[in-house]
Amino acid sequence: MTKHFLSLLDFTPDDLSRCLDLASSLGADRRAGRKGPHGSALAGRHVGLLFEKPSLRTRVTFTIGIGELGGSIVDIPSDVMHADREPLHDVSRNLERWIDAVVIRTYAQARLSIFIDSAPTLRVVNALSDEEHPCQALADMLTLRERWGTIAGRTIAYVGDGNNVATSLSHAGLMLGAHMRVATPKGYALPPEVTSAAERIAVGGAELKQFIDPKEAVKGADAVYTDVWTSMGQEVEYAERGKIFSRYQVNDALMARAKPDAIFMHCLPAHRGQEVTDEVIESAASVVFDQAENRLHAQKAMLVTLFS
Ligand code: CP
Ligand code: NVA
């Protein structure tokens, strides 16, 4: 079993299913006000939170989740990661002398690898990088399982930028047997590594198909997912991306092309009037706050898995 969670690809499909089963039972325990059998899973453990980009959901859910598992949080300010202060591999080698795990939100995924390579006893969790957002995808799959029972054979259409969220969603969906459709403007498709991994990681004949036309991608889909057009770190491209992505908005007309009972998903934060309209995000089809709640249960399950 993996000690790190940098990517969905650190899990096998079985690991992922087991993690989601555990997440469901942790969620049920919490809703019933029970401590449950994992309330001391992180007792005596220290977990660092090191965020180089803003966060609401990820920061709050890790803070609460680690506490509910009996662990303690160490909030590490992001300025310790500035290259002119000390090299990253010295930050990590210090941290591993004091703490057991570190949850990192950063830029290049390669920064996470430096932690793993230089500090072998430290468990490392990717709380979002430029390339992947695996914790989000865990919560997304938990949300879909709650709605559908089983994800295999369903069709999930992602519309917008082929970014970190799209990558992790594609990984997770394929590993659970969902057909993935991803519609992006030309030049904003999923990275080639995602498409080349698709066949290897897909379960039960699940396929990944890429589209330029969002209408084609959502046709008959069971879920429609979108994310911001400009991710953290890309702010200088904001105006240009606004123009390029304008026909990728998820609105009532686009949702009408999906199945009549299709679900709308968004990782949040959302920009109403850009990638999604107010009507769609506030509609009965929208599960965005279930996704946000499930960050907590899914990440607790992932941490129990890493420490077991
Ligand atoms: N979805 C998500 O990761 O939210 P935050 O950026 O607020 O953590
Ligand atoms: N793609 C977005 C996700 C935010 C949760 C970003 O990286 O900013």
Inter-residue contact 217 to 182 (CB < 8 Å) = yes
Look at residue 83 in the predicted model and tell me its pLDDT.
84
Q: What is the mean pLDDT of residues 208-235?
A: 98
Over residues 127-178, the pLDDT tens digits come to 999 999 999 999 999 999 999 999 999 999 999 999 999 999 999 999 999 9
Q: Looking up tokens 């998903």, which residue turns up?
A: 265
Report the share of the chain in percent with pLDDT over 90.
98
Give the residue, out of 163, 188, 235, with the most ligand 2 atoms within 8 A of its beta carbon, to mutate for a pocket test: 163
Atom in ligand 2 nearest the alpha carbon of residue 130:
7
Query: Which residues share a beta bridge with 50?
Result: 76, 104
Look at residue 231 in the predicted model and tell me its pLDDT.
98
Chain centroid to CA 32:
26
- Confidence band, pLDDT 50/70/90 cuts, at residue 1: low
Q: What is the mean pLDDT of residues 76-103?
A: 96
CA distances from 24 to 139, 147, 296 (A): 10, 12, 11
pTM: 0.98
Query: Which residues share a beta bridge with 276?
Result: 250, 272
Task: State in Å: Cα 118 to ligand 1 middle.
Answer: 27
Q: DSSP letters of 130-189?
A: SS--HHHHHHHHHHHHHHHS--TT-EEEEES--SHHHHHHHHHHHHTT-EEEEE--TT-S
- For residue 122, the 8-state DSSP code is S
pLDDT at 197 over 70: yes
Of 164, 125, 122, the C-alpha closest to 267 is 164
Atom in ligand 1 nearest the alpha carbon of residue 59:
8
